Amino acid sequence: MRRLSTFNIVSLTLGFAFLYVPMLILVIYSFNESKLVTVWAGFSTKWYGELLQNEAMIDAAWVTIKVAFFSSTLATVLGTMAAYVLVRRGRFFGRTVFSGMIYAPLVMPEVITGLSLLLLFIAIGLDRGVLTIVLAHTTFAMCYVSVVVSSRLVSFDDSLEEAALDLGASPFEAFRLVTLPIIAPAVISGWLLAFTLSLDDLVIASFTAGPSSTTLPIKIFSSVRLGVSPEINALSTIIIAIVTLGVLTASIVSKRQISQRLREEAQAG
């Protein structure tokens, strides 16, 4: 093990403090007895209890998860298809235009995306609700999925797919049996990314949500405007816990897989 110099320790501390002190404070205050967020009055878990009683909050959380699940799944299917065509089907008429257009929503201000979707939904007479948020989230999450998947496809050996065709697989079978299993990690991370983006989104959701379909970010944002309540702190702490758990599990699993693979390759000689 290499020892760290004082300078290294200071930079490390500063960096992590910058990242995590705000969250730490939030977690601490979620266990605050007092109703006033900024005044410490002793340890308590009562806000967690109250949160569970708050039906509007639970409903919003449920809507958010539903929206995130459906939109990320839809976005993964569409995004993977788009990436596949753009990377693997060589040059075709309009390829440059398409590949530029698929990335455009990444740089488009969310307000504009939200507004244009709102106008579209009104124009086609679609009532705003869960469906419209799902469609809106699919639209922008699909670009992220497509970026993640195409970066994997670029390094994919074309001859694998050709070998599948050569052995008698139809083009769709070659994709399903060979390409998809191999790029699966990228597809899954694309899905996770889309899921997270959807959970997180406030701007586009507030344009496209109806009165009956409030998502958690909208709910939190509107209640914070009336003053931060310790309940919100409790909710945020739960979300932080879930995310931390997810990230830790993912990194442990992938680390194990990598070390196992290295071991096996070493044995193969």
Partner 1 sequence: MAVSGKDDVFAPWKDATAEPLIKINGVTKRFGDFTAIDNISLEIYPQEFFALLGPSGCGKTTLMRMLAGFETPTSGVISIDGQDMSTVPPNKRAVNMMFQSYALFPHLSVWENIAFGLRRDGLDKEKIAARVEEMLKLVQLGKFAKRKPHQISGGQRQRVALARSLAKAPKLLLLDEPLGALDKKLRQETQFELMDIQEKTGTTFVIVTHDQEEAMTVASRVAVMDHGQLIQVETPEVIYEQPNSVYVADFIGDVNLIEGSVSGLDSGAELAWAEGRDPLIGQPGASLSKGQSASFAIRPEKIAISAEEPQDRRNRVQGKILDIGYLGNLSTYHVELPDGPIIKCEVGNRSRIERRDFTWEDEVWLSWSDTAGLVLPR
Residues within the interface to partner 1 (CB under 8 A): 157, 159-160, 162-171, 173, 177-178, 181-182, 261, 264-265, 267-269
The count of other CB atoms within 10 Å of the CB of residue 135 is 18
Report phi then psi at 104, rounded to 5. Answer: -60, -45
Minimum Å distance from CB 193 to partner 1? Answer: 23
Residue type, position 101, single letter: M
Taking the least distance from each CB to partner 1, the nearer of 55 and 265 is 265
Taking the least distance from each CB to partner 1, the nearer of 97 and 268 is 268
* Calpha distance 129→131 (Å, rounded): 5
Minimum Å distance from CB 176 to partner 1? Answer: 12
Taking the least distance from each CB to partner 1, the nearer of 112 and 184 is 184
Minimum Å distance from CB 256 to partner 1? Answer: 16
Minimum Å distance from CB 215 to partner 1? Answer: 37
Angle at 202 between CA 116 and CA 79, to 5 degrees: 65
Among the residues of the chain, which ranges form H helices? 6-30, 46-53, 55-88, 95-107, 110-123, 130-154, 158-166, 171-174, 180-200, 203-208, 216-225, 230-268
Taking the least distance from each CB to partner 1, the nearer of 184 and 245 is 184
Token pair, residue 250, equals 């993912």
Minimum Å distance from CB 145 to partner 1? Answer: 21
* Among the listed residues 41, 3, 18, the one whose alpha carbon sits nearest the alpha carbon of residue 230: 41
* Calpha distance 202→190 (Å, rounded): 20
Token pair, residue 114, equals 């939200």
Start-to-end C-alpha separation, the chain? 29
Taking the least distance from each CB to partner 1, the nearer of 22 and 181 is 181
Taking the least distance from each CB to partner 1, the nearer of 24 and 177 is 177
Minimum Å distance from CB 97 to partner 1? Answer: 21
